[in-house]
Amino acid sequence: ADHSFDYPLCPQQMDWKPHYPDHAVSEDAGVEFADIGCGYGGLLMSLSPMFPSCRMLGLEIRVKVADFVTDKIIGLREQHPGQYQNIACIRTNAMKYLPNFFTKGQLSKLFFLFPDPHFKKAKHKWRIINQTLLAEYAYVLRDEGIVYTVTDVLDLHVWMREHFTDHPLFAALTQEELDADPVVSLLYESTEEGQKVTRNEGNKYLAVFRRLPSDVLN
Ligand code: SAM
């Protein structure tokens, strides 16, 4: 039940220090990347050394999985002194509490890797990409921030692409932009789900969008 979720009433009340205890950046450095439904955290662990001064957070709804990721990060920090200080994981329902954690325009990257497909039409409202939630994603992303999505489910890929394309505050990256982005190559294989899809010889569909400046609405 919801009362078992720990979340701040507003982002200003969130104490990040316990999550990044030895991350040597300025006091007011905030989380910049969010991995929504991070699962076992493979993406965070791959991204961590690429952007050492940038704080990243995985959000995961399953208690055991979130605990596993937190323990794994602590272990990595112990094994590799000075490294993996910029990643953390919290257990939360990202569909409900994102604006409790992040202020307007705080994030530069949002990741949705292999989100749950919720195949049946009656369950589509549970999809983590939908009209209402896109407004929230636009809110927490800064101008020019990037949203990355990958799925092995064609129907979900088409669904996500349509929702982002229809939204006035998002535009798809061009192929040249995708080729120039060092993060893109990590999206397919860094996570446990991505590796499972590879083992099962499944397809992977990528869709990446830029958050447009709000003045496009004027
Ligand atoms: N991104 C990971 C990967 O690629 O391996 C995990 C993919 S898994 C298919 C989807 C994950 O999203 C699960 O770990 C699930 O618990 C998590 N999830 C589903 N709904 C969520 C929500 N509302 N908030 C946070 N996490 C959620």
Q: Residue 27: what pLDDT?
A: 65
* Structure confidence at residue 190 (pLDDT): 97
Q: What's the pLDDT score for residue 3?
A: 54
Closest CA to 88 of 2, 185, 139, 22: 22
Q: Quote the CA–CA distance of 98 and 2 in Å, as a whole number.
A: 14
Residue 67: which of 38, 94, 96, 24 has the closest Cα?
A: 38
Is the shortest distance between the CB of 94 and ligand 1 below 6 Å? yes
Please work out, in degrees rounded to the nearest 5, the angle formed at the alpha carbon of residue 166 by the alpha carbons of 164 and 170: 45
Please give the ipTM for the structure prediction: 0.99
- 112 Cα–ligand 1 center, Å: 8
Regarding the beta carbon of 61 and ligand 1, being less than 6 Å apart is answered yes
Distance in Å, CA 37 to ligand 1 centroid: 3
Q: Is 192 annotated as a binding residue?
A: yes
Does residue 116 have an active-site annotation? yes
Exactly one of 67, 71, 116, 179 is catalytic; name it. Answer: 116
Ligand-binding site membership of 37 (annotated):
yes
pTM of the model: 0.96
Q: How far is the CA of 215 from the centre of ligand 1 (A)?
A: 33
Region label for 9, one of left (φ > 0), alpha (ψ between -120 and 50) or beta (otherwise):
alpha
Per residue of the chain (218 residues), give pLDDT as tens. Answer: 445 777 999 999 999 999 999 997 776 689 999 999 999 999 999 999 999 999 999 999 999 999 999 999 999 999 999 999 999 999 999 999 999 999 999 999 999 999 999 999 999 888 999 889 999 999 999 999 999 999 999 999 999 999 999 999 999 999 999 999 999 999 999 999 999 999 999 999 999 999 999 888 87
Which is nearest to 16 in space by CA: 63, 72, 56?
A: 56
Say how far apart CA 218 and CA 216 lie, in whole Å.
6
Residue 94 marked as a ligand binder: yes
User: What structural domains and CATH numbers belong to the chain?
Assistant: 2-13+29-217 (3.40.50.150)
Is 37 touching ligand 1 by the criterion CB < 6 Å? yes
DSSP letter for each residue of 72-137: HHHHHHHHSTTSSTTEEEEE--HHHHHHHH--TT-EEEEEEES-----SGGGGGG-SS-HHHHHHH
Which of 46, 69, 110, 114 for a ligand 1 pocket mutation test, highest count of atoms within 8 Å of Cβ?
Answer: 114
